[in-house]
Amino acid sequence: MNKAWSIKRTVVVAVLMAMNVALSSFSIPVPGGHLYFNDVVIVASALMLMPSEAFVVGGVGAFLGDALFYPAPMFVSLFSHGLEAMIIAYVARKYPKNRGKVMLGILAGAAVMVTGYTLGRAFIYATPAISLIKFPFECLQAGFGAVMGYVLVYNFGVKKQFEEKLR
């Protein structure tokens, strides 16, 4: 029984990570940047998984997506999205019934992601000036992923279905 549970979880993590990679391959152009949908998968996954699994989906998935489509920020993505997902997962597991605290966890994760990308862009693959120009779009990206991930998991019953299938 425990082995089957482990295999199911591994498959779910792999599918969610593949979704992260796939959704990092296309975006909606917005003035000054692009809006990617992989943040929705990262937040939604983090709300349902253990922190280590969330790191794999968020960090490793974003790393692989960048490695395939735009390699310059791949290590920034690994740490920024990985830490974002771990923070959200930790808070969601610690306070599963307290939606207010879960929302604060999502906000903290989003802040880590925005900070990571802002610093990464400023010091690794761009300049501080470009980083400041892109900052509002990083906030938009994080906000979009946070809201849509939360809505999918809690308002569309994804978490309930997830828990039922993995019993």
Local structure of residue 166 (DSSP, 8 states): T
Q: With residue 48 as reference, give the H or E element that holds it.
A: helix 38-48
Q: With residue 28 as reference, give the H or E element that holds it.
A: strand 27-30
Distance from C-alpha of 126 to C-alpha of 54, rounded to nearest angstrom: 28
Give residue for tokens 């929302």: 103
Q: What is the pLDDT along the chain (167 residues), one digit of tens a residue?
A: 455 568 889 999 999 999 999 998 888 888 767 788 999 999 999 999 999 999 999 999 999 999 998 898 899 999 999 999 999 999 999 999 999 999 999 999 999 999 999 999 888 877 898 888 889 989 999 999 999 999 999 999 898 888 887 77
The strand pairing partners of 28, in sequence order, are: 35
Second CATH level (architecture) for the domain 2-165: Orthogonal Bundle (1.10)
Distance from C-alpha of 105 to C-alpha of 124, rounded to nearest angstrom: 27
Q: Taking the model in full, what pTM does it have?
A: 0.93
The residue ranges of every structural domain in the chain are: 2-165
Local structure of residue 73 (DSSP, 8 states): T
* pLDDT of the residue at 1: 46
Exposed, middle or buried, 159 (CB in 10 Å: 0-12/13-18/19+)? middle
